[in-house]
Amino acid sequence: MFDMHEVLVGTINVLDQFIMLRQFVQDQELLGILDRQYQFILSQYNLTAECFKTGSEPSQKTATYLMKEDNQTVYGMKPSQPHKPLQSMTDINDGLISRQMLVSIKAQASMMTMASLEMTNPAVRRVLSAQIQQFVEMAFEIFLYQNKHGYYQVPQLNTQDMQNMLNAFAPAQGQPQMPPNNGSMGQQGLH
């Protein structure tokens, strides 16, 4: 009960934040993302609230969020202004707005994941679980927008560093030799 209460309040907070941020958006592309995501989250909120209240499968299926970004990440760092707290409302720009959107979506995805892991009602658990992937897509869409506009830069590793990281793991070979389970051995650690 308490976890679902937090999830639903968190969803309302995301929706409220999007409404508050909307008035400051200047880029039509960002406005389109904000409006699409708002409508999607609102529809899923209604579905989740229904499922929570009834304890049964909702009257509609959970939806799939389809982002419009091209899935192309720009790598490399370019000089930019350092981040700092706002000094006035005139400092609000699309970079800040998209960052706030991303933080909200990521926090809600985390909250939904944590709640769904221990949700005792199977219908509610399935509804939450299905929505988590949609929040991942929305967060990635915002990341791509930020990345394209230089608000979220991704460092480019040199070839050798990348190869070192890629080769840092190897598959397990054969069967592991498991220690015997003789019952009393595990009890010794509890005292």
What CATH number corresponds to the domain at position 48?
Answer: 1.20.1260
What integer is the mean pLDDT of 99-116? Answer: 96
Q: What is the pLDDT of residues 117-128, one digit of tens each?
A: 999 999 999 999
In a domain, 170, yes or no: no
Residue 83 has pLDDT above 90, yes or no: no
**Domain, as residue range, for 36:** 2-75+94-157
- In angstroms, rounded to a whole number, what is the distance separating the alpha carbons of residues 143 and 140? 5
What global pTM score does this model have?
A: 0.85
The pLDDT, as a whole number, for residue 55 is 85
Nearest Cα to Cα of residue 98 among 63, 155, 40, 140: 140
Domain count, the chain: 1
The pLDDT, as a whole number, for residue 84 is 86
What integer is the mean pLDDT of 68-73? Answer: 82
In a domain, 35, yes or no: yes
In a domain, 107, yes or no: yes
DSSP classification of residue 189: T
The pLDDT, as a whole number, for residue 34 is 98
In a domain, 186, yes or no: no
In a domain, 82, yes or no: no
Evaluated on CA atoms 183, 186, 187, 188, the torsion sign reads: positive
Evaluated on CA atoms 108, 112, 113, 118, the torsion sign reads: positive
Residue 183 has pLDDT above 60, yes or no: yes
